[in-house]
Chain A
Amino acid sequence: MKGPLFNSAIILTGMYLALKFILPLLTAPLPSMLISLYMLLTLSALMIFYTMSGTSLDEFMGPIARFLSGENQVGIAKPARLLVLVVFPLLVGWQTYTKLAPSDQPPAENRTIHPAPPGEFVGLANPYPKTPENIMMGKGLYAAYCSPCHGANFDGKGPAAPGFNPPPANFADPGTIAQLQESYLFWRIKKGGVGLPVEGMPWKSAMPRWEKELPDEFIWKIIMGEYDGAHQSPRTWEEEE
């Protein structure tokens, strides 16, 4: 049973098992889309490797071709071939049916977490200096307006947080506010979830638009307080001096 075909089968199965069952032991399970992507890459690697020379091509494709064409087949191979020829189209049909059949599952989503802000918010800079007083005031405002959801520790674990999906942003995570500029936060706080463009799926965010309740000065100071409290610094484009 040895040969390229057998090796490929072993590698593919091993890969699938590793991605599907072993990786989740270490971390969160992978979405099925990623698994199929990695499987596809493995398959194409095997195809490329075994079609490199004439001999390996024969070893790799020969058994498949012989099996499918049904030449000189004896014993168990005969009904197996028939079975494959019947089951494979059925499988494709079933796959198509499950794809098209109506279901109560929401469609897989592709939400852009940090969509591009409108032009008039891109070039803004915080007009208030980073004095201890301003930061203090920002933290105070944060405690009053933001901490119920985003948490007193800036970790997205406020008392109201469990009620939301997607959860409130965790500012202590280096993937959130540390990746963004202050002007971006200003836009998100001021315009809230409803201000997101369509690719950000405004209907998914519960963030209020604070422009009516908070003057701009408060928002800028809250931003200062957030960065300071979460021990992050805003993304900059200029050199650190």
Chain B
Amino acid sequence: MSEVALLQLIGLSVVGLGIVILLFIKAMFVRVLGFVAMVLGSFSLVALSVPQMASLPPAIESFDIASVKTPDDLASIGQKIFFSKGQCALCHSIGPSESARCPDLAGVGAKLAPEFIYESLTDPQSYIYLDFRHEGLPEEYPARMPYINKNPIALSKPEIFSVIAFLQKMSGEPISIKVEDVMDMGQEEKSVKMASLKDGAL
């Protein structure tokens, strides 16, 4: 017997029990309980009568560094990071969006050089206006952009460049990031994280 059939059987018995209580038992409180049991049993039966479907989590994808051969591969890794681990899509959109809280990134890959994008991700404070509204030395307006290479997001340099490759691709431009360069960066940082790159791994 399948589990659904078992649950249906239980549901039916609960409804039956409720009916029996309402037919034969006089004590009011027990009757109310029997009524409640009937209602709940019927609700379960209705829910069990539609085709059942569970939502399974997708497989945790891991990236093999050897599989990255073309800039397109890089961009598809960048796409995954952009929408999960990097948390970029929590604020930014690509293309106009009602909900985006921060600048639209459509076309930035074509407008901005990769080095500039890298700098604004790792040092968001660098091009921010100074605040002169008080005595003494000017202060910096705090950037709303977090440091992407530091906790809690903490992307590695190769990861950031794959995101930039993705942004270039989404601008309809040829990707200027070279796979070898990214590999070298990985060597530099002595921690090739690509192998253990997991969705949302913390």
Contacts and interface: CB of A to CB of B under 8 A. Distances in A.
**Do A and B come into direct contact in the complex, CB within 8 Å?**
yes
Contacts of B169: 127, 216
Interface SS majority for chain A: loop
A120 B56 contact: no
Given A119-B89, A237-B98, A238-B97, A124 B53 contact: no
A162 to B, nearest CB: 27
Given A110-B50, A110-B51, A125 B98 contact: no
Given A100-B5, A120-B79, A124-B170, A237 B97 contact: yes
A217 interface: yes
Given A123-B89, A125-B106, A127-B106, A198 B55 contact: yes
Given A120-B79, A123-B83, A199 B95 contact: no
Contacts of B98: 237-238
B142 interface: no
Interface string A4-45: 000000000000000000000000000000000000000000
A141 B94 CA distance: 25
Interface string B138-172: 00000000000000000000000000000001111
A127 B167 CA distance: 10
A240 B45 CA distance: 46
Interface residues of B, number: 28
A238 B97 CA distance: 6
B53 A110 contact: yes
A236 to B, nearest CB: 8
Nearest to B78: A120
A46 B95 CA distance: 53
A199 B169 CA distance: 31
- Of the candidates A120, A198, A216, the one having the most CB atoms from chain B within 10 angstroms of its own CB is A120
Interface SS majority for chain B: loop
Contacts of A215: 72
Interface residues of A, number: 23
Contacts of A120: 79-80, 82-84
B11 to A, nearest CB: 13
Contacts of B5: 100
Contacts of A127: 106-107, 169-172
B136 interface: no
A197 B96 CA distance: 27
- Of the candidates B53, B56, B80, B106, the one having the most CB atoms from chain A within 10 angstroms of its own CB is B53
B98 to A, nearest CB: 5
Contacts of B93: 123, 125
Question: What 10 A-B pairs are tightest by C-beta distance, nearest first?
Answer: A125-B95, A127-B172, A110-B51, A120-B83, A119-B83, A238-B96, A120-B79, A237-B98, A125-B94, A127-B170
28 contacts: A107-B51, A119-B84, A119-B89, A120-B79, A120-B82, A120-B83, A120-B84, A122-B89, A123-B83, A123-B94, A123-B95, A123-B97, A124-B95, A125-B93, A125-B94, A125-B95, A127-B107, A127-B169, A127-B170, A127-B171, A127-B172, A128-B172, A197-B56, A197-B58, A198-B55, A199-B53, A199-B55, A237-B98
Given A120-B79, A125-B94, 19 more contacts: A100-B5, A109-B51, A110-B53, A118-B58, A122-B89, A123-B89, A123-B93, A123-B94, A123-B95, A124-B170, A125-B93, A125-B170, A127-B106, A127-B172, A198-B53, A198-B56, A199-B55, A215-B72, A238-B97
